[in-house]
Amino acid sequence: MDNTKVMADGTKDFALRKVSSHCSISEMDDYDLSKLLDKPRLNIERQRSFDERSLSELSIGLTRALENYDGVYSPGRSGLNTPASSTRNSFEPHPMVADAWEALRRSLVYFRGQPVGTIAAYDHASEEVLNYDQVFVRDFVPSALAFLMNGEPDIVKNFLLKTLQLQGWEKRIDRFKLGEGAMPASFKVLHDPLRKTDTIIADFGESAIGRVAPIDSGFWWIILLRAYTKSTGDLSLSETPECQKGMRLILSLCLSEGFDTFPTLLCADGCSMIDRRMGIYGYPIEIQALFFMALRSALVMLKHDAEGKEFVERIVKRLHALSYHIRSYFWLDFQQLNDIYRYKTEEYSHTAVNKFNVIPDSIPDWVFDFMPTRGGYFIGNVSPARMDFRWFALGNCVAILSSLATPEQASAIMDLIEERWEELVGEMPLKISYPAIESHEWRIVTGCDPKNTRWSYHNGGSWPVLLWLLTAACIKTGRPQIARRAIDLAESRLLKDIWPEYYDGKLGRYIGKQARKYQTWSIAGYLVAKMMLEDPSHLGMISLEEDKLMKPVIKRSSSWTC
């Protein structure tokens, strides 16, 4: 049966296929998952124009796109496509689900009576609280998605507004003033029981270990604003002058012109989830993928008014260049590895094949064994004479969700995860990076960081929070069975081990040396993974469809032809 219908503007829409949010996991196997993903569009045509306007629509017909966007706003459909938690579905919830919800609610942070976020870890046993009692922007994302999926958007709105206010603060490190658009890594609410006042302190990098600004915070903020808007249908938040300005300020930081010769964003080490020195300085894939997703999300939310229009045009240009660059130069599969292995060096001029002058001798031994015949991935970093061949889970999953990866690349990434299951998933999903660096290299790269010894923490440790990203990527690529396998692994241990922050070891068998317990994003990540697998239409709030105008540029991949 052909479920597509042709929209007024000539594009096809798959929205007609009805999907019950009550279907069980086994029933779901029978569906073509890629078709399920459009369910949110069942309810309202407005949603198509909200986030699926293609670049062509935008660059060719800015005005028409604006009319589409504004004209079909339909308020009051909140919750229509966010079925409440599994307890209300026919699906039998795992006993861990109730425990997880309880723990998630316990982590809520209130400001003047309103919930505004969740603390990073609710760990009573731990003597060293450090800053785990703060609300981290990146950590709150899975919490926010869990609340949105459960039909509780208010806390997400409060969080978005509160962090927006914090963005307006003057940010200084010693005598140096940070860019206006910087979003905090985290904030903390201080309650004064005597004066009955609540105050907030925020950290933009000036207190953080290493004094690094979190580049990912602003991107996550934009991505979350879109998730909120998509899930609730409430355009009124993203359309406020405050939110529009907040977006523009973030974009000003990353779209400014300088000495760059690449469209990717130059970063300091430790500016993202990996917030310590780990050799990710340069152009780390995690930030590039989030940058791409934030640009695409902003594109559908920015108003085309006097101030917004200029940004829309800059975004469109940047997206073209960025997708071309990453799809061409960050992509590695068997064929590409073989090509690099045979590269000539010292090529000058436009005809150079080895554009960045990568010396084949710098390819680490492990990658030759690791690379399967089928499959591929975006490597960690690309800059002059330097390719970091390590695998980073977050960047690759976000590349799939944002459609930075072409459909072929997305399935090649899933092939790789299947082929290298033991290395990348092992006994606890999911390795943050692979492989670990050790010995001399560890000394040089991490600066002898005792927290990042091999197969621990950011250096090849396993992070349960990544389960939601893996699950979302699995659903998007039509491979729910991979997610189910990963969730089964998590369910065999997470609750018993009291929701650790991370696991150590080559297979992720050991609770991390300094891992917090009741780590909120481990809890929320599990809930989001469960809810998405149960009702794949949730994926819409965190996934962007392929934009046909950004044509794939790479022809080769062994898995593409399989």
Chain residues binding ligand GLC by CB under 6 A are: 120, 136, 138-139, 273, 275
In the complex, least distance from residue 208 CB atom to ligand GLC, rounded to whole angstroms: 9
In the complex, least distance from residue 139 CB atom to ligand GLC, rounded to whole angstroms: 5
In the bound state, the residue with its beta carbon closest to ligand GLC is 120
The rounded distance, in Å, linking the Cα atoms of 315 and 360 is 35
Comparing CA positions, the residue from 3, 24, 18, 9 lying closest to residue 480 is: 24
The nearer residue to ligand GLC, 478 or 525, going by C-beta atoms, is 525
In the complex, least distance from residue 35 CB atom to ligand GLC, rounded to whole angstroms: 35
How many other C-beta atoms can be found within 10 angstroms of the C-beta atom of residue 478?
19
The rounded distance, in Å, linking the Cα atoms of 276 and 211 is 10
The nearer residue to ligand GLC, 273 or 532, going by C-beta atoms, is 273
The rounded distance, in Å, linking the Cα atoms of 30 and 395 is 30
The nearer residue to ligand GLC, 438 or 449, going by C-beta atoms, is 449
∠ Cα 423 427 431 (to 5°): 50
In the complex, least distance from residue 318 CB atom to ligand GLC, rounded to whole angstroms: 26
- φ, ψ of residue 336 to 5 degrees: the values are -65, -40
Residues 250-276 as b/e (b if ≥16 CB within 10 A, e otherwise) read bbebbbeeeeeebbbbbbbbbbbbbbb
The nearer residue to ligand GLC, 138 or 530, going by C-beta atoms, is 138
Written as one letter, the residue type at 303 is K
The nearer residue to ligand GLC, 187 or 560, going by C-beta atoms, is 187
In the complex, least distance from residue 276 CB atom to ligand GLC, rounded to whole angstroms: 7
The nearer residue to ligand GLC, 28 or 274, going by C-beta atoms, is 274
The rounded distance, in Å, linking the Cα atoms of 35 and 112 is 44
The rounded distance, in Å, linking the Cα atoms of 367 and 414 is 17
The nearer residue to ligand GLC, 121 or 539, going by C-beta atoms, is 121
In the complex, least distance from residue 214 CB atom to ligand GLC, rounded to whole angstroms: 8
The rounded distance, in Å, linking the Cα atoms of 150 and 520 is 17
In the complex, least distance from residue 134 CB atom to ligand GLC, rounded to whole angstroms: 8
Comparing CA positions, the residue from 138, 132, 40 lying closest to residue 525 is: 138
